[in-house]
Amino acid sequence: MPLSKRILLIEPPFCRLFGAGYALPRYPLALGYLAGTVQSETNWDVMAYNADFLPNYQPATAQYLAGPGYEQYLANLRSPSGPVWQEVRATIADYRPDIVGISSKTQNFASAKLVAHAAKDVDRRIIVLLGGPHVSMVGAEVLQCPDIDVAVRGEGERTIVELLQVIANSGSLNAVDGIIFRSNGIVAQTRPRKLISDLDSLCFPHQSAPTVLKDYKSYPRSAFQSIFAARGCPFNCAFCGSRYLWTRFVRRRSVPSVVREIQLLREAGITSAHFADDTFGVSKPYIHALCSALRKDCRGLEWSCELHVNLVDNEVMHAMKSSGCMAVHVGIESGNNEILKAIRKGFTIEKALAATETVKKHGLALHTFFMVGFPQETERSIRDTVTAIKACNPYCVYYSIFTPYPGTEAFDTCRAMGLIPDNFDISLYNHQSPANHFCAHIEPLRFRELAGEVERLVAHLNRRNAILRKFAPRNVSRTVKKIVELGPRESFRRAVSVLKH
């Protein structure tokens, strides 16, 4: 096969494995950055393929990936000849790449391995690269999969350019920083790659999407609204793997660079933006500077972000609201101070609840993240979390069950406590998996009962508030006000009645 200099970048299927109604209807930023960089800085042909996307996708009404969905997920992993894998094989065969690059998080690593196998099944000469957070967390362990040839640790934009140059010229992989590979049957690692110091030098992912993204015309405009303003998170949550990819050192794009990307998004017909940073802004001066620029140069923009509790105050909320912010996502996780201390959230539940009131006071839609099932969890701490969810009475709740990802500190803690089985298989666990049980003080069946109670409360709140949003989709402040007026147990009928009056 002559070298055609083609690379296919793939986001593995994950949501789709749970059955009809599940998909990822957006352009993954990791794929977008890599594809845009390859297109602009090399002479390779590149295609980005989100294998977790479905054209004409209609979301399922189910809230959690449990029950039949979980069984379907496991069945799809056991059936590499199923329809989704046939689609993956067909895409690879049609594009005929020399290289397949797969972006993997821990929860979709089992799927990534099946994609790698599909690539080798199409043509054994295809070089398979694996990147993403999972590699940065577990390192050389990923090469236990025989279908993966090279693994990329840390940021991939500079690494991929150098890798393609070396491969095109039949050079030595030892010359490329930040990779793990096999050399004569022995796993070799090169020195770590330095962080990209100038984030303004990176491409804008959406700009290359029309020419590199498979099925681009089938995506909704909202699929391209996510942007990064910074990389790195200074906080130190015990369960999070972000610092293994970005580190705790925060690098920010310049305000003009962020504003220019948003302006181009709007020219492309995208009217809203979501800052996908692990935590937005990080420093209050940067938040104020960015909000000032958005007010001046991006009038009419609607945007949202994830914000740490410790950054919430009246001045910040006013600046964000006045520059078009419509929603703030806050990671609270637990309603119990002992749990919050154990997982190193850096605040108390009292401070978190005060922050949520500040968010709502400014007419912003409050989205909250809560999690149960930590190793130190007790029935009392779960009840405290239920109380906190009700006290927040948020616009939307994102609910998870604690999952210890290999490579994180939380995983080591669980192993030391005897909570990780010897035959631990990460494919069995995700943030809504009914198999999850990593609590030292609650028996499995009782934990499932308690987790189910939290799920039902969250489902009620989210369904009720979805009805409110349906009746006032363009008036977020009014909807927030009505949600605040309702108690968390109010009925759907009562919710509509309150909204109409």
| Pick from 111-125, 335-349, 462-476: least confident | 462-476
- The predicted pLDDT at position 282 comes to 87
- Tens of pLDDT along 405-429? 998 999 999 999 999 988 899 999 9
Domain 6-189 has CATH 3.40.50.2300: yes
- Tens of pLDDT along 366-386? 999 999 999 999 999 999 999
Query: Taking the domains of the chain in order of start, what are their residue ranges?
Result: 6-189, 226-500
Q: Between 187 and 495, where is the model more confident?
A: 187
Q: Between 295 and 467, where is the model more confident?
A: 295
Mean pLDDT of the chain: 91
- The predicted pLDDT at position 491 comes to 53
Provide, for the chain, the percentages of residues in helix, strand and coil under a 3-state DSSP scheme, each rounded to the nearest 5. Answer: 50, 15, 40
Taking the alpha carbons of 154, 155, 157, 158 in that order, is the dihedral positive or negative? negative
Taking the C-alpha atoms of residue 132 and residue 119, their distance in angstroms, rounded to an integer, is 18
Instruction: Please check whether the two domains, 6-189 and 226-500, share a CATH topology.
Output: no
- The predicted pLDDT at position 482 comes to 65
Question: In sequence order, what E strands does 244-364 have?
Answer: 251-252, 272-275, 302-306, 325-333
Please spell the DSSP secondary structure of 97-110, one letter per residue.
-SEEEEE--GGGHH
- The predicted pLDDT at position 242 comes to 79
Confidence of residue 458 (pLDDT cuts 50, 70, 90): very high
Average pLDDT over residues 230-250: 84
- The predicted pLDDT at position 260 comes to 98
Taking the C-alpha atoms of residue 150 and residue 283, their distance in angstroms, rounded to an integer, is 37
Cβ atoms of residues 336 and 349 within 8 Å: yes
3-class secondary structure per residue, 374-412: CCCCCHHHHHHHHHHHHHHCCCEEEEEECCCCCCCHHHH
State which amino acid sits at residue 384. Answer: D
Taking the C-alpha atoms of residue 438 and residue 427, their distance in angstroms, rounded to an integer, is 15
Closest CA to 51 of 24, 79, 18: 24
| Pick from 17-26, 159-168, 440-449: least confident | 17-26
Please determine, for residue 3, whether its predicted confidence score (pLDDT) is greater than 60: no
Average pLDDT over residues 484-499: 57
State which amino acid sits at residue 464. Answer: R
- Tens of pLDDT along 312-321? 999 999 999 9
pTM of this prediction?
0.92
Question: CATH fold of 226-500, please?
Answer: pyruvate-formate lyase- activating enzyme (3.80.30)
- The predicted pLDDT at position 475 comes to 62
